[in-house]
């Protein structure tokens, strides 16, 4: 299995359970408040490690984030490339409504303090045969992509959260692009799943594209291919969808790095993310590979 480097965000998540998302001008009380480790980067590193991947996380926190480093380390992530010299750890304010859906505000904090020297140092020991996994929550994204590509790493980029700046990134250098319908729609300008896949395959012919589409399951297109592989959903109670996408990404990439074919990677990632939505929290909801492989969930198809 190749080594996997995740240059990614680390957040403290403040999660509020609410009856409905707060509306403009409204003040509401939450039913409960919990503090969880989070950040798409941390969640994906934990998912990669729980899926059996050999993963190094590179990122930055403030002195208030030392607990986040310990959580990654305890999950089996190598944290030599995480430092605590940032101004303040990034945080997220997350509302989870009665249907388990979420909406999130991020304050980037130290995640936006990754300078070029930090990135060069993180990439120093990695090269051909290694994977780099990215999300859009840290500073200097184009620099990271260009530098990693020059070093010959395989780049997997989860285009989350989507912002207009993503269209200016050198996405053609990525080997795997992972999107949901909003991110895929944003980058392709198309709105249904097959059209998003068609357009992304045209725009980025050397990248495989993975699209997660909620109730419609997950889809995969190999580089330049027109055939879509699909995998449907499982019957689970939806408790909290936070980090479902991160769990999917971690298990998919770990499976690919382990040499599994895309259809099997889709299946494993779909089961793992279904388990994650049936639990509260972000990285705390991520299952292990053993739990995932022995889960006996009812398959509902796409």
Residues forming contacts to ligand RIB in the complex (CB under 6 A) are 9, 11, 13, 38-40, 43, 92, 104, 106, 137, 242-243, 245-246, 282
CB of 21 to ligand RIB, least distance (A): 16
Nearest to 108 by CA among 129, 95, 91: 91
Q: Which is nearer to ligand RIB, 75 or 147 (CB)?
A: 75
CB 5 within 8 A of CB 83: no
Backbone angles phi, psi at 237, to 5 degrees: -70, 130
Give 2 or 37: the residue with its C-beta nearer to ligand RIB. Answer: 37
Name which of 92 and 148 has its Cβ closer to ligand RIB: 92
Residue whose CB is less far from ligand RIB, 92 or 176 = 92
Name the residue nearer to ligand RIB (CB basis): 43 or 193. 43
CB of 124 to ligand RIB, least distance (A): 26
Distances (CA, A) of 231 to 130, 199, 210, 212, 262: 27, 20, 11, 10, 11
Shortest Cβ 106–ligand RIB spacing (Å): 6
Our CA angle for 83, 88, 89, nearest 5°, is 65
Instruction: Give whichever of 113 and 246 is closer to ligand RIB, judged by the CB atom.
Output: 246
What is the closest distance, in whole angstroms, from the C-beta atom of residue 37 to ligand RIB in the complex? 8
Name which of 43 and 201 has its Cβ closer to ligand RIB.
43
Quote the least distance from Cβ 178 to ligand RIB, whole Å: 12
CB of 134 to ligand RIB, least distance (A): 13
Measured CA to CA, the distance from residue 194 to residue 11 in angstroms comes to 34
Shortest Å, Cβ 102 to ligand RIB: 8
Chain residue at closest Cβ approach to ligand RIB? 38
- Phi-psi bin for 281: left (phi > 0), alpha (psi -120 to 50), beta? left
Report, in Å, the least distance between residue 68 CB and ligand RIB.
10
Taking the least distance from each CB to ligand RIB, the nearer of 47 and 256 is: 47
Question: What is d(CA 133, CA 151) in angstroms, rounded to the nearest whole number?
Answer: 14
CA distance 121 to 7: 11
């Amino acid at each position: 299995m190749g080594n996997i480097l995740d240059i990614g965000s680390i957040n403290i998540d403040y999660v509020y359970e609410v009856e409905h998302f707060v509306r403009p001008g409204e003040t509401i009380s939450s039913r409960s408040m919990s503090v969880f480790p989070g950040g798409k980067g941390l969640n994906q590193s934990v998912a990669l490690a729980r899926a059996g991947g050999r993963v190094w996380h590179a990122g930055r926190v403030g002195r208030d984030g030392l607990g986040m480093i310990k959580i990654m380390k305890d999950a089996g992530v190598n944290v030599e490339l995480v430092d605590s010299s940032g101004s303040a750890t990034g945080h997220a304010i997350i509302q989870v409504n009665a249907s388990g859906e979420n909406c999130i505000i991020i304050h980037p904090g130290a995640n936006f303090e990754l300078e070029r020297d930090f990135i060069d140092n993180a990439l120093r020991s990695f090269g051909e045969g290694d994977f780099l996994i990215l999300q859009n929550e840290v500073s200097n994204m184009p620099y990271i992509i260009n530098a990693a590509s020059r070093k010959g790493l395989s780049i997997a980029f989860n285009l989350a959260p989507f912002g207009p700046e993503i269209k200016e990134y050198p996405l053609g250098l990525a080997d795997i692009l992972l999107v949901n319908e909003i991110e895929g729609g944003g980058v392709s300008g198309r709105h249904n799943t097959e059209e998003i896949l068609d357009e992304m395959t045209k725009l980025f012919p050397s990248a495989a594209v993975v699209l997660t589409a909620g109730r419609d399951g997950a889809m995969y297109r190999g580089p330049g291919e027109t055939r879509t592989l699909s995998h449907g959903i499982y019957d689970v109670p939806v408790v909290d969808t936070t980090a479902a996408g991160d769990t999917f990404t971690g298990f998919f990439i770990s499976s690919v790095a382990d040499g599994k074919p895309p259809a099997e990677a889709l299946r494993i990632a779909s089961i793992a993310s279904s388990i994650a939505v049936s639990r509260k929290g972000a990285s705390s909801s991520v299952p292990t590979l053993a739990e995932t492989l022995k889960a006996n969930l009812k398959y509902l198809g796409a």
